[in-house]
Structures are given as structure tokens and as C-alpha cells.
Chains A and B, each alone.
Chain A
């Protein structure tokens, strides 16, 4: 009973988060930055911030995660971090030679009010930025939003700094994949390629944070969207943004800045959302959907129909990030499961509204909370138990204490491998998700069945 200190009596807490279901902006910004080829993320704050972000990302991806920091001292927090940042830029371009430094702020530098563009300008004036190199920035105060917000802000910075409005339009589409795993970005690119649609996907962490073992350590792996592509994204026909919270900001910025129209969809998790993604892409690019994708779709549907009895009316508790949860909840509802407790740590009233809408036909009380935490989630479960939990590694405490099967999904996953290699987006991702849900449910059935009820075929 690790969480023996969790009570089932739910009291309103005004001043307190217990067992968070979110973390702070900068880590999202760092993750997004790693999706640019040859980019070194830079944390403008204390040394601890970036150490924590790097450690957490490393634990999640089991990959080297490179970043730099302004290493604030007491002095810099009084006099401002300009000197530190200029020195950092100089040092980074001297020693590590990335093509881009992507600076994100922290609660510290935000509160003391450092003006990053002005500091970057100064570094440029001082000749610290080689002419073919870039420094971009995003404001990511830790006390606003969550890690998802940070991702969105840094993705927008890619548009702000790089996208260039050309006079003509090229026959290509920008795709902003959202705060998803490297393999998900890869899968989105694969689907796009199957459709024969030319695309620029950004950020793109595939081959950066799911790289191979090569016997060499490379500070800048060969993945990531290139600067050249980011510049050309301004001349695309349109932008398809996946995930309102993580990708909407950049898509709208692209529209405003380069007059590239955008369509913002939910993440393509599950059958229906993938249908919408592919169908939208098909319509806006005027292409036919190849049989290969229709076959994948049919395979996913086949799993749904074949195993429907095991999904039917199973109660599920979900913790995660809003974009993921919206699509996942839809997916679960579409296979007749009942997601009844849904928590995200990320604030935002829209989330609750959308989940309410998606779950309105479930004949059971549905708890949903934005800016919630896992303590509350656990309390809900104590009051109305579920058959399955889906969430990041921290959910395992609840799974263990309440003896409920669990599927790991989300960020961070610190104790398993696979999430960076096997996508959960697209039809194949849907198949994998269902496979894992079934594994969890059926393994539990096998475990709990009496000898009399234990069955070979299920």
C-alpha cells in the first residue's frame, strides 16, 4: 500500500497539488527543440531545470538528451541573465557547433523579466552568432500552463523564426504532429507518404530520440526537421495541425505570418480520428487513399469486432495530456468502453467540455478534471472502481494499490521500453493500443479466474 496515505474522502483543495499529472513548460519546449535537426535546446535559468528535464527525457526515451543552460547564479538573478546567455551562445557555437540554439525561459528568468530577443540581438551584434547559425526562443514560464504549453510555444517559435512567406505556393503540406512520441511522428510521415502527399513535418523527433545503437555517440543525430524545410514551410499550401493544444498555436501563427491556411484536428489516435486525419489529407491534397491504408484500417476494425466482447462496458480511468486524452477517450468510447475518470494536470476549461461531450452517452457518472492531479484521480477510483487504468508510469502506484490492470500511455514512461518505437497514432497505432488493452484485461482474467473458470481459448 504505497499510497496508503490516500483517503477516499474527497475534499476540495485550494492551495495544493498532490501527485501531479503534469509538469512544467520548459521540458515540453526542450522536447520540441530536439525535433529540429542539429539544434541544441537551451534552458535560460538555473542549472537544475535543465538537469531535471534532461534526466526525465532520458529516463523516458533511454537516449542521450542534449541541452545547455545559462547556469544562473545569485548575481544573474539580480542583474539579469544577459551575460550568461550571451556567454552560453558563444560557448555553444564554439564547442558544440549546432545549427540552431533554441532558447526557452524558466520561471526564474521570466520573473526577473529577461528580454530574450534583445539578448539574442546583442549576441548577434557582438558577433557571437556565426552568420549561418540561428538562435530562436520561446517564452515558457513554468507557472503558466504545463509541459504541453511549452511544446506549443516552442513549435510556434519555429514558425516565428523560420517560416518565410514566399509569393508562390508549393505543392506541399505542413504537418504539425503534436506532442507525440518520435515513432508517432514517423508514422504520421509514413501515412503521408503512402498518400503521396509531400509534407514538412515539424517538430520531428524521429531518429533523434529513438535512434539506433551505432557504436558512436553523436550529439546531433541525423533526425529532425531541417532549417531549410522550416523556412520553406511558409510556402506550403496549408497546414494540418494535430492536437489543438500542442499544435494549434503554431498552425495559427503560420496562417497569420505566411497566409498558409490551417486545419486543426484531434490527434489521430483510434479509428475515427485516423479516418478524419487521412480523409482530410486526401481532400485537401486531392489524392486517392491507397489500398494499403484501407487494409490497415480494416485490420484495426477487425480487432475491434473480433474482441468487442472484452471491451464492452469496461470502465476505464485515464490520466494524461489533453490532446491525447480527447482522442483516446473517443477511441475507447467507439469500442464501447466506458472511460469514467479522466484527469489531466494541464489547465483549460475546453478540455472538460470536450470530454463531457464525448462521454455524454455513457450511462454512468463520468468524472473529468483539467488542472487535476493523481491524488484526486485515485480518490475517484476508490469511490468508483474501474477495470483498467491508462496513464504514465506514476499511475502504477494506483494500479498496484487498487489491484487494477494498467496500460502505460503518455509521458513520462520511466519503467518500460517500446513507447518510442511503436506508434499509437494511425490504424497501426490503434491496433497496438487495443492489443495492449486486451493483454492487460485478459491477463487479469487469466490471473483471477478460478481453476474451474480458467479457459484455454478466450
Chain B
């Protein structure tokens, strides 16, 4: 084990493959004072629901929660852009004392009158849980008065981890599902779950499926629309990406509507192709779908293959550290980096579960460090010790990487370039290559390696 001082309580959340027997403690609340890179329940709900563009999203609480989440993710919409506004009840001291229900009620009325949204999501923040506002009752009342679904999202920050926020979001979505009319939805139809249209990724994926001859009933929630979600129970199959956020919903839909689901990833050539083939196989009674799928995969791969080959030469043997939100993302990343000839020296996630970590362990090479809910000090020490050339992470990791003179690739929501699909793989390879081989690293004082 590396000679870095870690909290003894954290020992079971960090593992170097090849060392002692493995049982990752994860899914637990971050240790107080541990400087974890994680967020909260509200954050989880907000990121999942936010891309629904024709709904009203109002944050019930003091201003901060609304301010920090105002249009920070690049979830694109092809139509309405109401989701890019920031609505908040901006609770003040008086509201904390006397309750914020009235304020919420009037805010909702005002906003629904002004914007005629298809539905409204009301996010409860920490304080709402403490002062005891009956958000559900207010929502119900407004829904009756205004005739649109008004859905409470129970996302008080302290009520668990980001994953619980996903769950709260799923519950809200689940309330919508089943309200629409499913007439006209065909036999070969799917819902795309857990795809948020960052950089237009949902459009890329949707396009593949549609070219296969598969109908996409709804995307949850990238470029999402309330009406599509309402009738999504009419689809024949749920295709779930980002297991952390949406499996819960798929599970509920399976139980209630008998819709089976498969887990996929759209990242990397292998996983992307699997995601298409798995759907084609599910609709195995229609060989045309499979035929078309083959063509798509062949065409898409051959269009990017020559470029990828050139990049692989440059990246061979370079080392990468992965620290991302969901573990599922980490799996795809490991495969994709391997494809590019890179070694993964650290893999970690904020929200992986035991099963995820077991899989991670199987996938990783000897000596790879596996962490759950890491802090910056841990990350930086391992990265230096293992001499990484690249860190893949989110906004908080970027400056840490740069300060150490290491390349970086944003695989979180701040990026603007799609990384999903075949074209996304090429984008990813190019971005990694640009960062890792950047001449700027020649000037970093720390390491005097030749490039």
C-alpha cells in the first residue's frame, strides 16, 4: 500500500489490486471531514430531472441551491429551454420561522400562469425537510388548480447520498409514467434511460436506434419532454445507461408495466456496439433490425478507425487515472482507454456499489488502485506515485490535474463535446491525445521526462 496517510475509517474504501482480500465498503455516507469529491441528494435529483426542457423546475429553499445549479450542465434541448431558467422560492429568515408553503404555492401559480409548462418539479432542499413544509400537499393543490402534474422531488440534501437523489428523481418520473396514451407505439420500441444529452449525445444515440428501425418512445431525460415520458410505459424495452441514476426507475417500470430492461453503455467502440446489438437481439424476431445494426456498426467503425489507429500510436503505454461519478462509467472508460493502448493506474467512483467494485476489480490490472469516494489528497498522491499522464474526472479534479502538470479529460457534465457513440469515441481519443501529448507538459517543473 502506498505510503500516504489515510483515515483508518477510509481503509476499506481504498484498495490496491493484488494486495489483501477485497471487500470495498461503499455506498456509505462520506466521512465527516474527509474532503470527499461527492455531492448531495438534491444534486442527484437535479441532474437527472433538469434536462426535461418543457417542465418547470423550481427549487424550494434558500437561493444557493438554485444559484449553483443554474444551467451548469450542457444538457441540450431541441425545443423549449425553460429548464435553463433558475426558479427559486429564495426562502428568507421569516419563511424559515413561519414556513415556506405559501410562498411555494404562489410561486407555482405565478410561474405556471406565466409559462404554461407541461409539468412542474418542486425540489425540496435541506431546510424544507427541517421546517416541515408539506411540499406534497402544496403540489397536489396546485396540480388540481392548474391541471398539470406538479411533482414533489424529495431531495433534502442530508437524506442520503447523490444516489438517493437519483431515486427521488426516479420516483417523480414514475408518477408521470402511465399518464399518457400509448396508442400508436409499435412493437419495436424502446425508452432510453440515463442519457442526459450532454453535448447532444442523446441525439447521436437516438439516431443509431432509429436507423436500426427501433422506435424511441422517450429519452429520460436528455432533451426530454413530459408528454413522451407520460407514455413511455408503452415501450417494449428500457435501455438503461448510467446504472446509478436510472436502474431504479427501470426496475419500477418492470414491476408495474412488465417492461424488461437491459443495461448498456454508449462509451467506447465495444460497449457502444453492444448497446446496439443487445437491443437488436432483444427484437430477435425481426432479423432486419439485426441486419441494419450490423451495417451501422460496420459503417460507423470504419469511418473512424483510421484516425483512431493514428492516435493509438501516440497514446501507447500512457497511464490514466479515472475518477468519475458512476462506476458504470468507469467500466466503459477502462475498456476505451485499453483500446487506445493506455494503462489504468487508478479507478474510482463517487457512487459505486459493492457489485460495481467487484466488477472493477476483475477488470483492472494488478497494481491498479481502486477507490470509493476519494479525496483530493488521496487522488493526487496516487496519481503522482503511479506517474499518471492523464486524469479523467469532473470540475473539481481539473485544476488538481493541471497543477500537477498532468493531462485532463472532463468526463462529467461540464464538457461540450459528445463522448458517446462512435463519433464520441473519436472525440474522446482526440481529446485525451491532445491533453496527454500537449507540449505544455514539457515545462512542468515536477517531472523531467522526455516527450
Residues of A within 8 A of B (CB): 2-5, 7, 13-20, 22-24, 26-27, 40, 42, 45-49, 51-56, 58-59, 61-74, 76-77, 84-85, 87-92, 94-96, 106-108, 111-112, 141-144, 146, 211, 213-219, 345, 375, 394, 397, 414
Give which listed residue, B29, B414, B445, contacts A71 with CB less than 8 A.
Answer: B29
Bound CA–CA A59/B252 (angstroms) = 37
Q: Does B87 belong to the interface (CB within 8 Å)?
A: yes
Q: What are the residues of chain B within 8 A of A48 when measuring CB–CB? A: 39-43, 65, 157
Q: What are the residues of chain B within 8 A of A144 when measuring CB–CB? A: 92-93
Q: What are the residues of chain B within 8 A of A45 when measuring CB–CB? A: 126, 157-158
Q: Told that A72-B126, A214-B445 touch, could you supply 16 new A-B pairs with CB distance under 8 A?
A: A15-B102, A23-B64, A24-B63, A42-B33, A64-B403, A65-B396, A87-B33, A88-B33, A96-B35, A108-B158, A142-B63, A143-B95, A213-B403, A213-B405, A214-B446, A216-B404
12 A-B residue pairings within 8 Å (CB atoms): A5-B85, A16-B89, A17-B90, A19-B70, A23-B68, A59-B414, A74-B158, A107-B61, A213-B444, A216-B445, A217-B376, A217-B403
Bound CA–CA A94/B105 (angstroms) = 47
Asked whether, in the complex, the Cβ of A77 is within 8 Å of the Cβ of B64, the reply is: no
Q: Does B353 belong to the interface (CB within 8 Å)?
A: no
Q: A46-B126, A143-B92 are in contact. Are A62 and B157 (CB under 8 A)?
A: no
Most buried by B among A27, A52, A68, A397: A52
Asked whether, in the complex, the Cβ of A92 is within 8 Å of the Cβ of B33, the reply is: yes
Asked whether, in the complex, the Cβ of B127 is within 8 Å of the Cβ of A16, the reply is: no
Q: What are the residues of chain A within 8 A of B87 when measuring CB–CB? A: 16-18
Asked whether, in the complex, the Cβ of B400 is within 8 Å of the Cβ of A215, the reply is: no
Q: A45-B126, A73-B158 are in contact. Are A111 and B399 (CB under 8 A)?
A: no
Asked whether, in the complex, the Cβ of A23 is within 8 Å of the Cβ of B67, the reply is: yes
Q: A71-B31, A89-B33 are in contact. Are A345 and B63 (CB under 8 A)?
A: yes
Give which listed residue, A55, A211, A219, contacts B396 with CB less than 8 A.
Answer: A55
Q: Does B398 belong to the interface (CB within 8 Å)?
A: yes
Q: Does B7 belong to the interface (CB within 8 Å)?
A: yes
Q: What are the residues of chain B within 8 A of A219 when measuring CB–CB? A: 376-377
Closest to A53 in B: B68
Asked whether, in the complex, the Cβ of A84 is within 8 Å of the Cβ of B32, the reply is: yes
A47 to chain B, nearest CB (A): 5
Q: Does B103 belong to the interface (CB within 8 Å)?
A: yes
Bound CA–CA A91/B447 (angstroms) = 31
Asked whether, in the complex, the Cβ of A216 is within 8 Å of the Cβ of B446, the reply is: yes
What 0/1 pattern do residues 422 to 451 of B give for CB contact below 8 A with A?
Answer: 000000000000000000000011110000
Asked whether, in the complex, the Cβ of B40 is within 8 Å of the Cβ of A14, the reply is: no
Closest to A25 in B: B64
Asked whether, in the complex, the Cβ of A67 is within 8 Å of the Cβ of B158, the reply is: no
B156 to chain A, nearest CB (A): 8
Lowest 10 A-B CB distances belong to which pairs?
Answer: A48-B40, A215-B446, A88-B33, A24-B64, A46-B157, A91-B33, A52-B68, A23-B67, A142-B62, A88-B32
Q: What are the residues of chain B within 8 A of A108 when measuring CB–CB? A: 126-127, 130, 157-158
Binds A, one of B108-116, B166-174, B197-205: B108-116
Q: Which of B45-79 contact A (CB under 8 A)?
A: 61-70, 72
Q: What are the residues of chain A within 8 A of B91 when measuring CB–CB? A: 107, 143
Asked whether, in the complex, the Cβ of B395 is within 8 Å of the Cβ of A58, the reply is: yes
Q: What are the residues of chain B within 8 A of A94 when measuring CB–CB? A: 5, 7
Q: What are the residues of chain A within 8 A of B103 when measuring CB–CB? A: 14-16
Asked whether, in the complex, the Cβ of B129 is within 8 Å of the Cβ of A77, the reply is: yes
Give which listed residue, A18, A51, A90, A95, contacts B6 with CB less than 8 A.
Answer: A95
Bound CA–CA A65/B404 (angstroms) = 14
Asked whether, in the complex, the Cβ of B69 is within 8 Å of the Cβ of A71, the reply is: no
A427 to chain B, nearest CB (A): 31
Asked whether, in the complex, the Cβ of A17 is within 8 Å of the Cβ of B88, the reply is: yes
Q: What are the residues of chain A within 8 A of B262 when measuring CB–CB? A: none
What 0/1 pattern do residues 1 to 27 of B give for CB contact below 8 A with A?
Answer: 000011101000000000000000000
Most buried by A among B34, B91, B156, B377: B34
Q: What are the residues of chain B within 8 A of A214 when measuring CB–CB? A: 403, 445-446
Asked whether, in the complex, the Cβ of B115 is within 8 Å of the Cβ of A95, the reply is: no
Q: Does B118 belong to the interface (CB within 8 Å)?
A: no
Q: A72-B158, A143-B95, A215-B447 are in contact. Are A85 and B32 (CB under 8 A)?
A: yes
A221 to chain B, nearest CB (A): 9
B26 to chain A, nearest CB (A): 15
Q: What are the residues of chain B within 8 A of A14 when measuring CB–CB? A: 103, 106
Q: What are the residues of chain B within 8 A of A76 when measuring CB–CB? A: 158
Bound CA–CA A89/B85 (angstroms) = 38
Asked whether, in the complex, the Cβ of A66 is within 8 Å of the Cβ of B35, the reply is: yes
Most buried by B among A7, A53, A76, A87: A87
